[in-house]
Amino acid sequence: MRFDVITLFPEMLAAVSGQGITGRAFKQGLWELGLWNPREFTHDAHRTVDDRPYGGGPGMVMMVDPLEQAVDAARAQRLRQGPVLLMSPRGRRFDQPLAQSLVDGGGAILVCGRYEGVDQRFVDRCVTDEVSMGDFVLSGGEIPAMAIMDASVRLLPGALNDAESARQDSFNEALAGLLDSPHYTRPEVYKNQRVPAELLSGHHARIAVWRREQSLTLTLHRRPDLLQQARKAGLLTDADERFLARLAGSAAS
């Protein structure tokens, strides 16, 4: 897998290639990172990458030519071409299936805008999809690009150790169905707050039931859409439905 990132701030991307799970996978050679600064593809003395917007308005717009040349240079280094994704709140919402499809396709070219945005002709000429992390505005696309790479690299075979893989499996289950139950570690009592007795019982079956019920309660309250999805996917057992009916009953009274 290979990601190529088009960015005016390539140093930012060291956070993903240099540290943690993604950094370890990078050192193992499981994925490659190409960094392309549009400033390196300018030809004027000031190395200009932005200019004032036609029609007026605040701020500056990234110019089409340095961006297109950076994408072309990235393409020339790629064996499998893959999509060219622009980080933008106007785009398709990023999710786990999109991360998996990037892994399956061998990666992508990720374009990070700065200033007020990029010249639309660059979008029309080079961008295959716009991708959003959610309904908020950032100062640039670099952090969304890092999120995409983090989510993708974790899915590569060999990127996670055994403990991390077990955790990933339960997270995938949670994404397909329910939110994760709460976690506790030492101490048993912190400022009068106890760890739930069920988790200290040592009864594996009882612990599993408690966690499942916590997940169901949390998902019902915070993400009823996910609960409905899980129901439709046939992920809820008869015991789950009985527990949810009991919850609905006690909430009504």
Closest residue to ligand 9WO, judged by C-beta, is 113
Pick one of 36, 102, 107, 114: the residue that binds ligand 9WO (CB under 6 A): 114
State the Cα–Cα distance between residues 226 and 250, nearest whole angstrom: 22
State in angstroms the smallest separation of the CB of 1 from ligand 9WO: 21
The 3-class SS string of 59-117 reads CCEECHHHHHHHHHHHHHCCCCCCCEEEEEEEEEECCHHHHHHHHHCCEEEEECCCCCC
Residue 218 burial (CB count, 10 A): 17
Cα 86 to its chain centre, rounded Å, is: 14
Tell whether residue 63 is a contact of ligand 9WO (CB under 6 A): no
Pick one of 38, 107, 117, 177: the residue that binds ligand 9WO (CB under 6 A): 117
Query: Which among 89, 99, 98 is positioned nearest to 139, based on CA atoms?
Result: 89
Tell whether residue 88 is a contact of ligand 9WO (CB under 6 A): yes
Q: Which two tokens stand for residue 12?
A: 């930012």
Looking only at residues 140 through 169 of this chain, which bind ligand 9WO when binding is defined by CB under 6 A?
140-141, 144
Q: Give, rounded to a whole angstrom, the gap between the first and last alpha carbons of the chain.
A: 55
Asked if 169 is an active-site residue, the reply is: yes
State in angstroms the smallest separation of the CB of 90 from ligand 9WO: 4
Tell whether residue 89 is a contact of ligand 9WO (CB under 6 A): yes
Asked if 50 is an active-site residue, the reply is: no
Tell whether residue 58 is a contact of ligand 9WO (CB under 6 A): no
Residues engaged in binding ligand 9WO (CB under 6 A): 87-90, 113-115, 117, 132-134, 136-141, 144
Q: Which residues are catalytic?
A: 89, 116, 154, 169
